[in-house]
Structure 1
Amino acid sequence: MSMADGEQPRNAGSRNVSDAPDARGAQDAPGDVTDAQESDAARRRRRAQFLRELHEAKQLRDRVQPRRARAARMRQQMRMRTFRW
């Protein structure tokens, strides 16, 4: 899967690339608590978005590969049966 020159990755639009320098700059400024809190909130928003997309991708994979999904469920059940508290 190689991309042609000038092509963007598919998920590049979902992330705010400009947030990363702001987050670092907010931590460098002494006493700017509000900027640090905003960057922390932005990080949590990006993480939540990433986890939503990851969950959606796993559901899609399970739908298009039902045999593999069933085998994974069976392995998980076996792990849970043999787990000792």
Structure 2
Amino acid sequence: MSDRKSEEVREARRTDAERMRRRARFLRELAEARELRDRVQPRRAKVARLRHAVRMRTFRW
């Protein structure tokens, strides 16, 4: 019984690690895509930055 439980724990850790790797890769690619968009469309990027700044100023912690 404990062997099965330890195997389940090991498998859960493996799947969690894989999920975290996929998430990290996705976030890196997302940041890269945003940087590319900012270089290609500087005016839109500036407007997006300003909009984000206004949103953050109006957000209450």
TM-score, normalisation: structure 1: 0.55
Q: Following the alignment from structure 2 to structure 1, what is the Cα–Cα distance between the partners of residues 16 and 59?
A: 37
1:43 to 1:82, Cα distance in 2 relative to 1, 3 A: closer
Name the aligned partner's letter for residue 70 of structure 1. Answer: K
- The CA deviation at 1:45 is 0.6
Identity among equivalent pairs (%): 64
Q: Which has the higher helix share?
A: 2
Structure with bigger RCO (C-alpha 8 Å, 6+ apart): 1
Give the RMSD, CA atoms, in angstroms. 1.8
Aligned partner (choices 32, 39, 43) of residue 67 of structure 1: 43
1:36 to 1:79, Cα distance in 2 relative to 1, 3 A: closer
1:65 to 1:35, Cα distance in 2 relative to 1, 3 A: same
Unaligned runs of 5+ in 1: 1-29
Unaligned runs of 5+ in 2: none
1:82 to 1:39, Cα distance in 2 relative to 1, 3 A: closer
**2:14 matched residue in structure 1:** 38
TM-score, normalisation: structure 2: 0.73
Residue-pair matches, total: 56
